[in-house]
Chains A and B, each alone.
Chain A
């Protein structure tokens, strides 16, 4: 049997790094093949080599048994490969059909035939169950639909092999299920799918076979039906990990954060957070679930002093901080792991040490009468690097060279080090690999066990379920539910997240 696609001994070296080390990969026709590995395991490099973005140092690529050499992505596309990147590349002001047919427009007498283009796109969308309106303007579409447009682009160019790079990272559970449906239909139609991910649940749900990458090498070729998440995890990390630990009871009466009828207005005076009312006690993790963009970010920004509060009160350890600035709030006992670790959490031009000392730099011992004790700064940085296992060449090196996971460790370690009564963690594990996720979760639990109060915002339901003592669900600026993670299942939370419970009430 010929493979649809085969890579043999693919090697790619960067100065000091072996990104891909003699990787073999064989994919059958009409197969959903998952490529899994922690961040930095070489998944993206491998796909870039396959897609012709740069040549491998060694190794060969075969398509349907024929050796090929790609000098650019154009060659790869001509050979029937299609790639759906993590970030979409669409023209927001054009409609779906125009985006799909771009640079390959059907013409009539030398003019672009937009009607024919739209018809072809509609036909294609229907054939594969991609619910998309070809006439809709791209800027009005939600993320899940944009992804379908990207898939349509590849199909329109007649891609036989579709490469999906972390396709579910931006999707709600419902959108994810729809995507899986589409992928299965594509398989039925004879297309081959390469599915890059680090989420094991998805691997088990959708793939036929799995290739596991670790440190640039293909360490395992598995058949999904004959393996289980534990085995895959073993291969990915080289050790067994336990992600699913439920919160033990740690009830306490001591209220650390009290939010009373908090309202935050967005642009045009429209409330983005409306009458949010909750409290967080010491020794508990309160999870806020919700589809991104339903007011979670604004709520957190208002709590941290980065956004004006328009009504209501915020009390931290008995102190009214409703109108306090960031400095006062931090002094009152709040630490914050922000969602945006690149733009807010760290300063990319500054060194690792300068980033690690942010917020600690006024502490006596670190400074004395305004003079920084450079020895103490270096000691603090080195200690955090060591305790949290941050991989850096030197603490005086620039922070911008760190990988996403290590950068997040910089933020997490720094905020944990404040040892404040309240820790606000916003998307603390987004984009991290399994090892790093496990680490951050462990730290949050330790924080809780030391009597800290944690407010956790996450788009990752499994994370919320695994860590929270209580779950609040936000939908369109309202807290629509307060749930007990031991008595609730994922689908039910999903209903609240999408506002479906409201429809039920109306009906």
Chain B
């Protein structure tokens, strides 16, 4: 048995070495280092600050904290992508679910241990209902989810903007915002690394849960097969339309949960436009793509991206290198992975008759 484990570890490390991700990371860091060097900075010092900033002291707490929305939104994207549904409405689902959850946390009276779960639940339900719109648009009216889900982001933003400006406005401040979430109904923090939100547990549960769904359940099997090959799934008797609706609801629910967490666990006020500016939905999309939509790699990649962002702030503070460099890093990693994947696919493609024929016609 230990021998088998050893062999598997060897195999894993071998695959990690040739993996496009490894290559992309090395490439991205080399590029970032040379940018720092060329602009007169010290790449080693910057790198050190970035690393220590991300994993030591309050940095670790912040990295874990920021990983919650990044991983969460990546999971929301991944469930849709894995079923072949291009849901770009994560942002809208997060915003509208987040406001719904916030309203519960602010206005519904009751003890925290009841109201906090109720707020999260409400956020999830409203996010899911919001996601139903593009889902039914596709299954009933043949409107592509890709377009409708994206456009509904603006609608969601406009609706929440109106609500926090008028009916829900906190008139005591000059911002367009709700009242503050009362102390009793905030998401509790765990006594871990100086206070990480309890939502981290929720995210970990979702990672494990989705992994179980995909590897062990009929629903996971059907959605995945539909994502691979919709014609084949339909032929095999899978109700692709019904699955589309379910998957969109799950994606919307996760979005709503994360939106609610971001207010009752972090910002404490729903300020118009703030959730959108955070860009978590889009960072999550990149993380999901990078992790090929699989839950456990998403968790690792999400932590990494979170660390990059938090570390980048520390680097700016302590080494005088702009935190935007971490955004550059993030972008280069993605481009490099994409390139590497395309190149690998080309290598594998059998190149027999097509090449021969075109070459053959060419020269004679």
A-B pairs with beta carbons under 8 A, tally: 104
> B40 in the interface, Cβ–Cβ < 8 Å?
no
Contact B359 A73 (CB under 8 A): yes
Write the B261-295 contact mask toward A (1 if CB under 8 angstroms, else 0). 00000000000000000000000000000000000
| Inter-chain contact B239/A327, CB cutoff 8 Å | yes
B352 touches A347 (CB 8 A): no
For A374, list chain B residues within 8 Å (CB): 216
Residue B18 is within 8 A (CB to CB) of chain A in the complex: no
Q: Mark A60-87, 1 if CB is under 8 A from B, else 0.
A: 0000000000001110111000010101
Contact A85 B237 (CB under 8 A): no
Q: Which residues of A contact B357 (CB under 8 A)?
A: 73, 85, 89
Complex Cα gap A39–B186 (Å): 67
Q: Interface-forming stretch among A354-362, A465-473, A492-500? A: A354-362
Q: Which of A51, A83, A347 is close to B232, meaning CB atoms less than 8 Å apart?
A: A347
- Is A74 touching B360 in the complex (CB atoms < 8 A)? yes
Q: Size band of the A side of the interface?
A: 35 or more
Q: Does A345 contact B (CB under 8 A)?
A: yes
Q: List 22 A-B contacts (CB under 8 A).
A: A51-B356, A53-B353, A73-B357, A77-B363, A77-B364, A78-B364, A102-B361, A104-B361, A104-B364, A330-B237, A343-B232, A348-B229, A349-B228, A349-B229, A350-B225, A354-B225, A359-B237, A361-B222, A367-B218, A370-B217, A370-B218, A372-B218
| Number of B interface residues in the complex (CB < 8 A) | 32
Across the interface, do A362 and B218 meet the contact criterion of CB distance under 8 Å? Answer: yes
Judge if B38 is at the interface, Cβ distance under 8 Å. Answer: no
Residues A89 and B364 in contact in the complex (CB < 8 Å), given A361-B222, A362-B218? no
Q: Are B352 and A53 in contact (CB under 8 A)?
A: yes
Which residues of chain A are within 8 angstroms of B238 by Cβ–Cβ distance? 327
User: Min CB distance, A152 to chain B, in Å?
Assistant: 13
Asked whether, in the complex, the Cβ of B352 is within 8 Å of the Cβ of A326, the reply is no
Chain A residues numbered 71-127 whose CB sits less than 8 Å from any CB in chain B: 72-74, 76-78, 83, 85, 87, 89, 102-104
Q: Which residues on B sit within 8 Å (CB–CB) of A73?
A: 356-357, 359-360
Q: Is B334 an interface residue (CB 8 A)?
A: no
Contact B361 A361 (CB under 8 A): no
B221 at the interface (CB under 8 A from A): yes
- CB contacts (< 8 Å) of A361 on chain B: these are 218, 221-222
A299: min CB distance to chain B, Å: 16
Contact pattern, A 360-392, Cβ under 8 Å of B = 1, otherwise 0: 011000010011101000000000000000000
User: Scoring B residues 233 to 272 as 1 if CB is less than 8 Å from chain A, else 0, what string do you get?
Assistant: 1111111000000000000000000000000000000000
B354 interface residue (CB < 8 Å to A): yes
Chain A nearest CB, measured from B357 CB (Å): 5
Q: Is the CB of B362 closer than 8 A to any CB of chain A?
A: yes
Asked if A74 and B364 make an inter-chain contact with CB atoms under 8 angstroms apart, the answer reads yes
Apart from the given pairs A48-B352, A53-B355, A74-B359, 17 other A-B contacts in the complex at a CB distance below 8 Å? A52-B356, A72-B359, A73-B360, A104-B364, A304-B235, A336-B235, A344-B231, A347-B225, A347-B228, A347-B233, A354-B221, A358-B225, A359-B236, A362-B218, A367-B218, A371-B217, A372-B221
A371's contact among B216, B229, B360, B361, by CB below 8 Å, is which?
B216
Q: Which residues of B lie under 8 Å from residue A359 when comparing CB positions?
A: 236-237
B232 contacts which chain A residues (CB < 8 A)? Answer: 343-347, 358
Chain A residues with CB under 8 Å of B352's CB are: 48, 53
- Inter-chain contacts of B151 with A (CB < 8 A): none
Q: Is B219 an interface residue (CB 8 A)?
A: yes
Instruction: Let me know if B239 and A325 touch, CB within 8 A.
Output: yes
The answer to whether A326 and B237 have CB atoms under 8 Å apart is yes
Q: How far is the CB of B341 from chain A (nearest CB, A)?
A: 14
Hey, what's the 0/1 contact readout for B146-176 against A, CB within 8 Å counting as 1?
0000000000000000000000000000000
Q: Which of B196-225 contact A (CB under 8 A)?
A: 216-219, 221-222, 224-225
Query: Does A343 contact B225, Cβ atoms closer than 8 Å?
Result: no
Contact A338 B235 (CB under 8 A): yes
Q: What residues of B have a CB within 8 angstroms of the CB of A430 in the complex?
A: none
What are the residues of chain A within 8 A of B354 when measuring CB–CB?
89
- Say yes or no: A372-B231 contact (C-beta < 8 A), given A53-B356, A77-B364, A157-B364: no
Give the residues in chain B near A78, CB-CB below 8 Å.
363-364
> CB of A18 within 8 A of chain B?
no
Across-interface contacts of A131 in B (CB, < 8 A)? none
A306 within 8 A of B: yes
Across the interface, which residues of B come within 8 angstroms of A348, CB to CB?
A: 228-229
Q: Which residue of B lies closest to A53 (CB)?
A: B356
Q: Which of A53, A326, A357 contacts B234 (CB 8 A)?
A: A326
Task: Name the B residues within 8 Å of A51 (CB-CB).
Answer: 356
Chain B nearest Cβ from A54, distance in angstroms = 8
- A371: chain B residues within 8 A (beta carbon): 216-218
A48-B352, A53-B352, A358-B232 are known contacts. Are A103 and B217 too (CB-CB below 8 A)?
no
Residue of B nearest to A76 (CB): B360
Residue of A87, A338, A372 with most partner-chain B CB within 10 A? A372
| Bound form: Cα–Cα A325–B237 in Å | 8
Residue in B219, B356, B363 with the greatest tally of chain A CB atoms within 10 Å: B356
